[in-house]
Structure 1
Amino acid sequence: MTWLHYVIVTAVACIVTMALVPSVKKLAFVVDAVDYPNARRVNKQPTARFGGVAMFGGLAAGLAAIWIGTQFFGWNYPLHSPVSRNIWYPGVMIGVVLIFLVGVADDIFDLRPRTKLLGQIAAAGIVAASGLLLSDMHNPVGPGYIDFGIFAYPITIFYLVAFMNVINLIDGLDGLASGITAISALTMFIFATLTFRLDAAFLAVGLIGICLGFLRYNFNPASIFMGDSGSLLLGMSLGIVSLFATTRSALFVSLLVPILVAGVPIIDTASAIIRRMRAHQPIQQADNGHIHHQLLREGFSQRKTVLIMWGWTAILAVSAIFITETHGVMRLAFMALAFGISAFFVVRLHLLGPVLRHHYAPRPATGQKRAAEEFNKAVDNAAASDKAADEADPDRSDTRR
């Protein structure tokens, strides 16, 4: 397999995605898959949230390019490997199609969270039943592997559902989710080529292509949003790529690769869950406490916020590759780098501050509570002033979520 083959698949996925976006915009208004301006959103005009349809078309085109290459141009068949012999690939594709349809339905009909979660579990279950399982891992303290047995199925389902939701929740700024997914997919591509996992490598470059193509229209100021049809598709596909790339790896640390490359959305999701539980709110209820909200409050524009989070993801991605390819002091150094940069953002943005006060400090007295409420009201007033400034300067536009 040559680099030209990977470039062709990336280009096909990218070009088809870009070509489909204008038509998808029109379709979104026909089926009312549209984000209308309101108190929570800052888009000044109705914006299509159906970008996942174009991304799905681009991914399908990339897979078609692989099939054409293997059938007519002598490309190596990417599904022939010792790891993939027990995987029913049509079943994996059915799972991807199902989660895409769940996202489409949510974009149009605004599904209840429980219904959407059931769809995610069903799609992940189909993938697991097709043989793509997190079935074992290399024993970190001895020879051989640790076999998960029957527990491999719920572990895999949880793993894929988690990937879908971390990408879904990070999709809060123009270009943020697609950029993070592209960086993560590039990292998985590098790891897959180092370990000769052709199935993972080809799917990874397809993901890179659709993300780059969509960024043409989704980077600030976005003319289209990816919607749940896009975020769920990206999350499921990235989870599948990571399973293809790390299944039965010879190294225990290889399992750190997908965790690190998705580290930013994982941290964001974990802090959101803790924050909402503390506030006695439903976990699925949207709020304005995400990492990108905190960066915006620090005074960064939307574009700078996205670039900062892309950079953070890139640092974790580079660290992940070097952790698997180095040993001893160098491996520990890159682990420390990944932990240190993440700890810096967590502390600097006070992501865990409310949780620590909740668990280790007494509840405020009535007067203190009233003062806190007045302070929060002042913060809200400041946010309103920022919104007025955003209207005067579009480059400072806030997130729609």
Structure 2
Amino acid sequence: MEHWVPYILLFLSALVTTLLTTPLASKIAWKVGAIDYPEKRRINKTPIPRMGGIAVFLGLFVALLLQVFGYRYLGWPFSIMPPRSRAISYPLLGLAMLTIFVTGLLDDKFSLKPHQKLFGQVLAATFAACSGLVIGNIVSPFTGEFIELGIWTYPITVIYLVAYVNIFNLIDGLDGLASGIAVIASFTMFIIAFGGGRFDAAGLSIALAGACLGFLKYNFHPASIFLGDSGSMLIGFALGTISLLNVTRIAGLTTIIVPLVIAGIPIIDTFSAIVRRMRGHVSIGQADRGHIHHRLIAEGFDQRQAVLLMYAWTSVLCIGSYVMTQVTLWPRIAIFFLLFVISALFCRHLHLFEPVLLHHQDPDTGDDTLITPDDPAFKAEEDKLEHHSHHHLH
């Protein structure tokens, strides 16, 4: 039991801190004008403050202070302090976390342009990679040989972290959705990290679970505050960091797949959005109402039901990912394939890859406009796209 005490205290410190500071984050958001007002694409019907990331960040920060104190004075295991075999600069990793948080704060307040936001994300990921948090060499599960990334180690790590940030940023579309998925994902990563002796990953993941659970009290439907980019980007970056702490330096290829399965829903949502927009010949950055949560609402689920269904789907993926870490290669591949098929059937049922926006040239004005399925011209444009697709195939 004594082995669990530090982690229980880390969890509780982050949970209580976030519970106490979320009302403060709400006041700050109102004061600086970081508010989500109702509009066509948004679900909320009333103005909601969006700087919840402040409370999540403070929860993680207090847990960090407690960890340092516990390590130095109470004989806790290293959850932040590295062993000799691990050359990671934790102050630089902390700077990376601060950078992503500040980028999100600035976006919440000023609505940064996409390239400005991307710059902050890349800068934070670069700090993390320079701290020693890199994917490193990969072991082939079939031959046991090393796949050396060499000079590509750092750019691949940066791309991985930036991708993790953005998939969680995109999934944050319903009350309690991103924060709840983060609780399930981070708790799963904690169990995997603790079982594998990766105590730094275990410490960060259990603190993140506590912070997100504390925030969920205010964020579950009907939400009184949103994560904002300060929260969703921080959570995505923290989960990406935890997944890399679990596999740093040398990793099995299937081990790297596990954190991707855990984040399966945000990854599916992002991938389907890219495919959907490419099929509709619209910009990949063009917002639409084709995300998983939009589709579930359109199916007749209310906000709570849609979120709980996505929690359940995430839980299935997380249980599967944990079992994958406990079995040999071929059962692991079989489980991955089963989870893939289940998710694929769900995606097909929700029509996730079908466009909800199409480019259309107005015959009267000649202007290039976006149309939705509600417009009479949508069906004609869709048929035209299908015709072109078949023509190219033949």
Task: Tell me the TM-score normalized by structure 2.
Answer: 0.88
- For 1:48 and 1:374, the matched residues in 2 are separated by 29
Identify the residue that residue 393 of structure 1 maps to in structure 2.
none
For residue 333 of structure 1, report the CA deviation from its aligned partner: 4.1
Q: For residues 47-94 of structure 1, what are the alpha-carbon distances to aligned partners after superposition, in whole Å with 9 as ceiling and x for unaligned?
A: 10000011100110111111111122111223333552x111111110
Letter in 1 for 2:326: E
Kindly tell me the number of residue pairs found equivalent between the two proteins. 365
In the alignment, what sits opposite 1:347? 348
Structure 2 CA distance for partners of 1:83 and 1:348, relative to 1, 3 Å: farther
1:81 alignment counterpart: 83
1:229 is aligned to 2:227: no
Contact 1:312 1:341 in 2 (8 A): no
**C-alpha displacement at 1:146, in angstroms?**
1.6
The one-character-per-residue Cα deviations of 1:252-309 (angstroms, maximum 9, x if unpaired) are 3211111100111001001111222333333223211001111111111111110111
SS in 2 for 1:59: helix
Q: Secondary structure at the match of 1:274?
A: helix
Decide whether aligned partners of structure 1 residues 288 and 201 sit closer, same or farther in structure 2, where only a CA change above 3 A counts. Answer: same
Q: How does 1:18-97 map onto structure 2 within 5 Å?
A: 18-78=19-79, 79-81=81-83, 83-84=85-86, 86-97=87-98
Counterpart of 1:387 in structure 2 is: none
Listed one character per residue, the Cα deviations across residues 170-191 of structure 1 (whole Å, up to 9, x for unaligned) are 0000010011111111111111
Change (3 A) 1:332 1:149: closer
Secondary structure of 1:376's counterpart equals coil
Determine if the alignment matches structure 1 residue 331 to structure 2 residue 325.
no
Which AA in structure 2 matches 1:63? L
Instruction: Output the amino acid matched with 1:325.
Output: Q
Q: Does structure 1 residue 376 correspond to structure 2 residue 374? A: yes
8 Å contact 1:83–1:248 — kept in the other structure?
no
Shift of 1:26: 1.0
Provide the rounded CA distance (Å) in 1 between the counterparts of 2:24 and 2:353. 43
Task: After TM superposition, give the deviation of residue 231 of structure 1 in Å.
Answer: 0.5
The SS at the match of 2:13 is: helix
Give the corresponding residue for 1:105: 106
Question: What percent of counterpart residues are identical?
Answer: 46
Counterpart in 1 of 2:243? 242
Query: Which shows bigger deviation, 223-232 or 267-276?
Result: 267-276
In 2, Cα distance between the equivalents of 1:92 and 1:182? 22
CA distance in 1: counterparts of 2:288 and 2:180, whole angstroms: 22
Residues 332-388 of structure 1, C-alpha deviations (whole Å, 9 max, x = no match): 442233112211111111122459xx9xxxx9xx9xxxxxx796238x9xxxxxxxx
8 Å Cα contact 2:17-2:59 kept in structure 1 = yes
Letter matched to residue 80 of structure 1? P
Deviation per residue, 1:205-236 (Å, 9 max, x gap): 01101110000000000000010000010011
Contact 1:103 1:227 in 2 (8 A): yes
- List alignment gaps of at least 5 residues for structure 2: 364-370, 379-394
Distance in 1 (alpha carbons) for counterparts of 2:225 and 2:373: 36
**CA gap 1:10/1:66 in 2 versus in 1, 3 angstroms:** same
Superposed CA offset, 1:84-117 (max 9, x none): 2x11111111011001000000000000011101
Map 1:1-400 to 2 at 5 A: 2-78=3-79, 79-81=81-83, 83-84=85-86, 86-248=87-249, 251-327=252-328, 330-354=331-355, 376-377=374-375
Letter of the aligned partner of 2:8 in structure 1? V
Moved over 6 A (4+): none
Superposed CA RMSD:
2.2
Q: Distance in 2 between matches of 1:8 and 1:66?
A: 9
- SS of 1:186's partner is helix
- Give the AA of the match of 2:232: S
Q: Match of 1:376, as an amino acid? A: D
Residue pair 1:96, 1:123 contacting (<8 A) in 2 also? yes
- CA displacement at 1:248 relative to structure 2: 4.0
Mapped to 2, the partners of 1:329 and 1:313 lie a distance apart of: 23
Preserved contact between residue 139 and residue 252 of structure 2 (Cα < 8 Å): yes
- Would the aligned equivalents of 2:82 and 2:88 in 1 still touch at CA under 8 Å? no
* 2: CA distance, partners of 1:276 / 1:125: 29
Inter-partner Cα distance in structure 2 for 1:229 and 1:374: 31
Aligned with 2:138: secondary structure? strand
CA distance in 1, matches of 2:117, 2:218: 27
Which ranges of structure 1 fall in alignment gaps of 5 or more residues? 367-372, 381-401
Distance between the aligned counterparts of 1:250 and 1:170, measured in 2?
Answer: 28
Query: Judging changes above 3 Å, is the alpha-carbon distance between structure 1 residues 327 and 43 closer, same or farther for their aligned structure 2 residues?
Result: same
3-state DSSP class of the match of 2:325?
helix
Given that 1:185 and 1:207 are in contact with CA atoms closer than 8 Å, whether structure 2 keeps it comes out as: yes
User: Distance between the aligned counterparts of 1:244 and 1:118, measured in 2?
Assistant: 23
Residues 146 and 354 of structure 1, relative CA distance in 2, 3 Å threshold? same
Partners of 2:329 and 2:61 lie apart in 1 by 42
| Aligned counterparts of 2:141 and 2:114: Cα–Cα separation in 1 | 38
